[in-house]
Amino acid sequence: MSVARPKIEIENLSLDFAADGGSPISVLHEIDLSVSEGEFICIVGPSGCGKSTLLNIACGFLEPTHGQVRIDGVPVERPDRRRVFIFQNTAVFPWLSVEQNIGFGLRSSTADENAATVQRYIEMIGLAGFEKAYPRELSGGMNQRVEIARALASNPDVLFMDEPLGALDYLTRLKMRADLIEIWRQERKTILFVTHDVDESVQLADRIVVMSKRPASVKAVIPVDLPRPRSLDDPEYLRIRDEIFHLMGIDHFGRNEDAPSDSRARPSAE
Amino acid sequence: MRRVRKFLLGLAGIGLFVLCWQLATWGNGRTDVPGPWLALSGLRDLAREGLLWRYIIASVFRVMWGFALAVLAGVPLGLAIGWSGWVRDLLNPLVQLLRPISPIAWLPIAVLMFGGVRWWEPSDLSAIFLIFLASIFPIITAATSAVEGIDAKYLRVATNFEIGGMAMLFQVILPAALPQILTGLRLALGIAWVVLVAAEMLGVQSGLGFQINDSRNNLRYDLVVAAMIVISIIGICLDSAMARIESSALSRRGTAKR
């Protein structure tokens, strides 16, 4: 599904946070990545490494210190309804019902059209019958579905998902992964999906971006060329998973911990 | 069972207080410190006179106007201070400067301000003004901290869907801040009611505060205590009315506590 021009281009992106009184802290360091239209990209890395920050920049919530993110060739300067961010602990509005939440971003000319869109996505996420329910009456998994439906309903071309399943229990997470794949198959959005769960990334992604510890840079980009749904005991699946563990483990167990970041190996940063 | 016990215990606490009151005032005549029975018969006298109802209406009327004006001014001001950095920098020092001044201290100024008014009873206006002052600061403070406490992710969702300006205010900021604002309003109404009685003891010719002052001048301490009881009951009614508004507003949007 490679298209001539990449959908998202992240080019030489760095972010420094100004620390109080001290020298600025480098959070992201010279990140390059290009994503094709309709591609499902997972970004994994140790917690606190700046994966979420990268996503926030790509969505236009934060400004980078250097470099830029281009979507369809146009630099990202502010949030845009054509690409929607999905938050870790759901950001559904507690004061709106399920259908009001899903309809929040809709701009159709007629109310009927909006209502039809809302109904279509309520059915897609399997919440028919809960149209009038409020978020506090639903489980965490149901609320996360509502948020995904709210994002899809406004028909964006890119979804930024920041550990969207991180707060759910194990079984719900497995079910949601399968549903997510199904939704992605139907809707063909370009997805940037941040997670710290290596298994999750191998199950979902076309390509996995492995980030280093802070200051985060791209350590490796690993293609996953397996048909979905992916069997958890397929040898290739296990090989990729272990490769990522290995890539992350180096930092986890401290081998290069005190070395300056630029001496760190960055093999295939594309 | 728990609710019955809770109710009985509450009743016992009040009963104990009334008993102490009875014992402390044993054998006193009508003009000395009145006991519970004298207070109750005073309450009956007040109700019979018909003045009581007029005074209750006068007092509630003043509180409602003062409080309503404070809500109309205080909520937008508080939202603006919480939302905009420069409005905060402009107004917050002033608010902090005015807040510690007891509304009662404004009375001479209020009389001066409204003394020449012809289109309304001046003393009414100064009482309303004091109520307004008593309730506006807690309202501003509640609205400000409600806005500051809004979870940033809701605001991000709104900007993500390219919602701004008035739509942002009415679809996101106000509903997100509503629970805390309503709690603040309830608190402010309680303060307003307390201040009203003090405000009515000076300058006005009607209302429950006036009733207390007037009865004292006539050495009818039984009526003083009777008026105190009425003040308490109406205070409770106002508070529970606010609580009901609060919970119905929040239950409709599904965020009520129960």
Question: In this structure, what CATH number is given to the domain that contains residue A243?
Answer: 3.40.50.300
* All domains in chain B, ordered by first residue: 34-252 (1.10.3720.10)
Q: What are phi and psi of A178, to 5 degrees?
A: -60, -45
SS3 A33: strand
Alpha-carbon distance A118 to A112, whole Å?
10
* Mean pLDDT along residues B40-46: 89
Contact B162 A134 (CB under 8 A): no
Same domain assignment for residues A19 and A98: no
Alpha-carbon distance B148 to A225, whole Å?
47
Q: What is the ipTM of this complex?
A: 0.85
Same domain assignment for residues A252 and A142: no
* Whole-number Cα distances in Å, A248 to A218, A220, A243, A267, B72: 12, 10, 9, 14, 57
Q: A87 lies in a domain?
A: no
Q: A268 lies in a domain?
A: no
Same domain assignment for residues A174 and A192: yes
Alpha helices in chain A (DSSP H): 51-59, 98-102, 111-124, 140-153, 170-187, 198-204, 235-252
Q: Does residue A266 have a pLDDT over 70?
A: no
As given in the structure block, the two tokens for residue B55 are 């005074």
Q: A216 lies in a domain?
A: yes
Helix, strand, coil proportions of chain B in percent (round to 5)?
A: 80, 0, 20
Q: Does residue B20 have a pLDDT over 90?
A: yes
- How many structural domains are present in chain A? 2
Q: A144 lies in a domain?
A: yes
- A61 min Cα distance to partner chain B (Å): 7
Q: Residue A120 sits in which domain range?
A: 92-155
Same domain assignment for residues A148 and A254: no
* Whole-number Cα distances in Å, A232 to A182, A197, A208, A241, A248: 18, 14, 17, 10, 20
* Mean pLDDT along residues A209-215: 89
Same domain assignment for residues A150 and A44: no
Q: Which of A121, A137, A155 corresponds to the end of one domain? A: A155
In this prediction, residue A124 carries a pLDDT of 87
Q: Which of A155, A177, A206 corresponds to the end of one domain? A: A155
Same domain assignment for residues A124 and A72: no
* Whole-number Cα distances in Å, A82 to A137, A146, A157: 30, 18, 6
Q: A105 lies in a domain?
A: yes
Residues of B in contact with A84 (CB under 8 A): 160-161
The pLDDT tens digits of the residues spanning B201-234 come to 877 889 999 999 999 999 888 899 999 999 999 9
Q: Between B44 and A252, where is the model more confident?
A: B44
Mutate which of A55, A77, A92, A93 to disrupt the B interface (most B C-beta within 10 Å)? A93
Amino acid at A157: D
Q: A1 lies in a domain?
A: no
Alpha-carbon distance A11 to B20, whole Å?
81
Contact B153 A94 (CB under 8 A): no
* Whole-number Cα distances in Å, A90 to A139, B57, B257: 11, 49, 20
Residues of A in contact with B254 (CB under 8 A): 94-95, 97, 133-137
* Mean pLDDT along residues A108-126: 88
Same domain assignment for residues A148 and A179: no
For chain B, the average pLDDT equals 90
